[in-house]
Structure 1
Amino acid sequence: MTTETAVPRARGAAPAGETERAQLEAVLVELEGRATAKFRSVAAPAATAERRAVALGHEDLAMRARLLRANVLVREGRSERGGRWAHEVLAWAGEHDDAFLLARAHRVLSIFYRQVGDLSEGLTHAVQSYSHLADDEPDVVRARHLMTLAVALDESGSTEEGARRFREALQLASAAGDAELALNILNNMAYTAYEKDDERGARELVTHMRDALAGAGRRFSALELDTIARIEMMSGNYGTVEKILHVVLDADQALVEMHEGDAPAVCLLTLAEARRLDQRYAAAQEALDAAARMATERGLDRVRAQAREEQAALYAATGRFELAYEEHRAFHRAMTALHSAQSEARARALQAVFEATEARQASEHFREMAHRDALTGLYNRRYVNGRLPALLGEALVRRSPISVAMVDLDHFKQINDRLSHSTGDAVLQQVAELLAEFATGPMVAARMGGEEFLVIMPGAGAAEAAEQCERLRRLIRDHGWEPVTGTLPVTASIGVTTSDDGRGSPSALLSLADRNLYVAKREGRDRVVTDL
């Protein structure tokens, strides 16, 4: 990050604003590239990056930083705020057609919805996450999004499709030489195989995990060890489970990485189950007590409930059936309370997301209303003032032409005076419908005020614009006006001007079109006058 102290810029160096943006982008790229296991380390620097981006006026970078923070919140289980922030970023990305952020916001929302139990929405966002990736995305990014899609497919019951996506993700991560990501994918695949009772497949995957570990340059994390231990339990290798998880009981837990807050307690529960199945009941109780104590200290309600279930099984294994029954009842009470709390949390999180989406839609609705003419529904002058400079800028970049036509209804005062103002309004509304029908593709039709309208034609050169406006003139003149105006005709005079390459200001372009309109009026009306 740069300091606030201003320093002289060397001749030929990039402007300070560009340099700061580049530095900030570099920070975000590094944070976005950090391993999933290290997600907590992202929170503080992402918050700093967001504040800096806001101060510099780089809204897109602020959104990237905000999404990084949302991802941390969701993965930590703080779904309400994380889901809301991710939806806000998704809305911004949609408004600005930012495919980069669309893909990444959908991925965070897939994790969010799976976390709150909405597997269908989780899968929907996972699919969107992958489909919005650009063709030139790095293989590592594509692998991460494929892994998210694989998990969502698997949890939604599409097991074979999920397995195929896992394999694709693993192939990409391996080809990119990202051993950390490959290990993460393999761990997911191995635990999925364990849940399906596919011991052979699970063991093959553990072998690949060990190979990947050498490339990652670290030890297995606690949850990776738990996956391996549970696979060993499938064959009754309880002594092996003990060896795998013994580091969890060591006083110095620096020997194993524990990225997830519940990891030690989860490992202790696995250890307790293995010892019980091995009929080492006192040792099982020791591990179970440690797991329950840790769950209570850290507020791990789900692990605490699971500990009660294991306690009931341990009581039953030692013949204390009355205690087992009471503990099993306590387990069900705990799970009921947990499900209730989860339902409330889910409801709060989804409500927050709904409110954010609803507020965005309302904001878009009111913004759209502010840009529309109340009588005709066409765009208004305010919209033209904002849109025309942007279209001119695009034409300048592309070196393409852009034409503007001022359309004014002839003798409109007669319609108001001889018939009525309501008839005049009906004529304006009908002309607006004709203009909306006429202005296809990139063309923009607007009501500038009174009986004056504007048509912007991006990409249209002078000859094409003249031809199009002649068609519009005939469309208005030949419309069946008798039911509205009786014998009074409705015609229009049109002044057109063209910028061949986007050069010129909006005011200059409008002034030239207006000048040509004046000529059309002066020469007899119901005609098109161009620069030609």
Structure 2
Amino acid sequence: MSGAEQLSAALSAMENEIVWDAEAAYAAAVELERQADALGDETLVVRARLCRICMEMRTGDLEGAARQLDDIHDWAVAHDDSNLQARTHLTWANIRRLSGDLAQCLEHSLSAVELLDESATPYMQVTHRTRLADALGLNGAIDAARARYRQAEELARELHQWELLTMLLNNWAYTEYSSGDFSRAQQVARRLQEHATTHGPELDPAALDTIGVIQIENGEYAEAVQTMRLCIARHAAGYSDDADDLAEYHLTLARAQRGLGAFDEAQAGLDASQALCVERKLHQVLVRVYQEQAELHAARGEYAEAFRMHKIFTDASDGLQSRQAEVQAQTRLALFERAEAREDAELFREQARRDPLTGLPNRRYIDEELPGLIATDPELTVAIVDLDHFKQINDRLSHDVGDQVLVQTARILESRLTAAAPDGFVARLGGEEFLLVLPRTSDAVAAVQLDDIRKAVSTYGWQEITGGLPVTASIGVAGMHDVRTRSQAAVLSVADRNLYTAKRAGRNRVVSG
């Protein structure tokens, strides 16, 4: 066997096996790249370079790995190497997942499957489909994820890829857990344990972490602590998974220890997880660390610190969602028009135009629909509704109560507006602000209808939700005659100005131009 053939075989082994020790594999990939350079074989150089980049990502250098991928992909496209293109997209998907860009993770995961052909190895056939199922689950498409997991499971069994089946069942169980379906999660986790008993080898740290989080949801805190200690011990003994895994393991152990009341040990675990998140820029995990830190403060009775940390968690969570939302609608639409039925694509597009808390249309929907109404309807009325003293509800009661108030307010606004202006719509602008759009509604009629809506908010039976704390709304109104230019910015500016006037005048009132 020639040197090039030996090198190609070594690269194939690295490309088609689950790598547990990423640092050792990184050193091996560097050496393989050096040998490929010495041989002057461009194809082997590119393959070795991608292996090295994958290991850089696995050891936490996401930015360094990302900077190098474009050149690999361009080479693969220029040389019509579909396997290398597929591997590049899968690496991109992992980087996007770790950095919190779930929409791009889904896009690259789909490309990684679309590029598979008859030359793809059994490892690629199973792994790429599993990662697509993972990405679908992360983006909330749980039914589509289950279908992909089933396909990948059938293929793994057909190809006798038992180690990959362990990975697949672990990911599936965790996806079910993340979706909140703990019964399905437990069922898949049991299949995972049965498979490990039948086919071996011992469960890896990632699988143990999955079992641990499911045990926590079942209140089995002592069992979860034992599971997670074994998980971290196996990781230290040579298992080295993705860049975010050890941070996840410490976070899960901390949650189990909090459940047992071992608060000092839980704090140490959270500190370790947070340090890894900061070092490796693991935005998604860090958001959940903040959330758990708030829970731990509350469990200790440190309510001021719990509130402060919950605010940090909320801000971090909102920031993460806003980064994802920029590309989510267009990406999902493009993906599912190409790979799934058009009805699925439209479903994802609609989801991207909806506020996840209230179910109302969001700012993206407003930007799509409002300009056309402004341009064509001389009797259009637009109103901004803002809940009065909403911060007091969050501060004195909780953010959960605040969310309940927002959801109920959305229901009141939607039902009242449907009766008053069936062709109109209610949308959530953000926070405690809502937008009411009333087509073909004169000023006089709009004034009466909007005041009725204001009264409906203030007279609703809030006792059950707020315990007697009142909920009222101020409303700023704008009609087409109030603006010099027919633009969305001008109309919203007038409505916002009138809202400010309503606030200064004592709140719980409607002010028009």
Shorter-normalised TM range: 0.5 to 0.7
Aligned to 2:265: 286
Does structure 1 residue 179 correspond to structure 2 residue 162? Answer: yes
Q: CA deviation at 1:298?
A: 8.2
Does structure 1 residue 170 correspond to structure 2 residue 168? Answer: no
Does structure 1 residue 271 correspond to structure 2 residue 253? Answer: yes
Relative distance call for 1:338 and 1:258 in structure 2 (3 A) is: farther
Q: CA deviation at 1:125?
A: 2.6
Structure 2: distance between partners of 1:85 and 1:44: 17
> TM-score when scaled to structure 2?
0.55
- Counterpart of 2:114 (choices 114, 124, 131) is 131
Q: Once the two structures are aligned, what percentage of the paired residues are identical? A: 29
Structure 2: distance between partners of 1:261 and 1:58: 31
Structure 2: distance between partners of 1:120 and 1:338: 15
Q: CA deviation at 1:59?
A: 0.6
Q: Which structure is larger by alpha-carbon Rg, 1 or 2?
A: 1
| Deviation digits for residues 258-302 of structure 1 (CA, Å, limit 9, x no counterpart) | 53565455334323323434xx43x13322224314643885575
Aligned to 2:304: 322
Structure 2: distance between partners of 1:329 and 1:81: 32
Does structure 1 residue 155 correspond to structure 2 residue 125? Answer: no
| Deviation digits for residues 96-153 of structure 1 (CA, Å, limit 9, x no counterpart) | 1122222222222222333444444333332222222222433332111111222222
Gaps of 5+ in 2: 328-513
Structure 1: distance between partners of 2:222 and 2:18: 32
**In structure 1, what residue type is equivalent to 2:271?**
A
Structure 2: distance between partners of 1:216 and 1:41: 26
- Counterpart of 1:34 (choices 17, 27, 34) is 17
| Deviation digits for residues 301-338 of structure 1 (CA, Å, limit 9, x no counterpart) | 756664453333233234332332344345567x4899
> TM-score when scaled to structure 1?
0.53
Instruction: Give SS of 1:45's match.
Output: helix
Q: CA deviation at 1:71?
A: 1.7
CA RMSD of aligned residues (A): 3.4
Instruction: Give SS of 1:154's match.
Output: helix
Structure 2: distance between partners of 1:318 and 1:177: 50
Report matched runs for 1:191-340 at 5 Å: 191-214=174-197, 217-247=200-230, 257=239, 259-260=241-242, 263-277=245-259, 280-281=260-261, 283-293=262-272, 295-296=274-275, 299-300=278-279, 306-329=288-311, 331=313, 335=316
Question: Does the CA-based 8 Å contact 2:7-2:36 persist in structure 1?
Answer: yes
Structure 1: distance between partners of 2:67 and 2:173: 32
Aligned to 2:468: none
**In structure 2, what residue type is equivalent to 1:150?**
A
Structure 1: distance between partners of 2:245 and 2:165: 20
| Deviation digits for residues 427-458 of structure 1 (CA, Å, limit 9, x no counterpart) | xxxxxxxxxxxxxxxxxxxxxxxxxxxxxxxx
Relative distance call for 1:146 and 1:265 in structure 2 (3 A) is: closer
**In structure 2, what residue type is equivalent to 1:259?**
D
Gaps of 5+ in 1: 1-17, 347-532
**In structure 1, what residue type is equivalent to 2:89?**
H
Structure 1: distance between partners of 2:83 and 2:121: 12
Does structure 1 residue 79 correspond to structure 2 residue 71? Answer: no
**In structure 1, what residue type is equivalent to 2:265?**
E
**In structure 1, what residue type is equivalent to 2:219?**
G
Relative distance call for 1:95 and 1:34 in structure 2 (3 A) is: same
**In structure 2, what residue type is equivalent to 1:322?**
A
**In structure 2, what residue type is equivalent to 1:87?**
D
Farther off after superposition, 89-98 or 133-142: 133-142
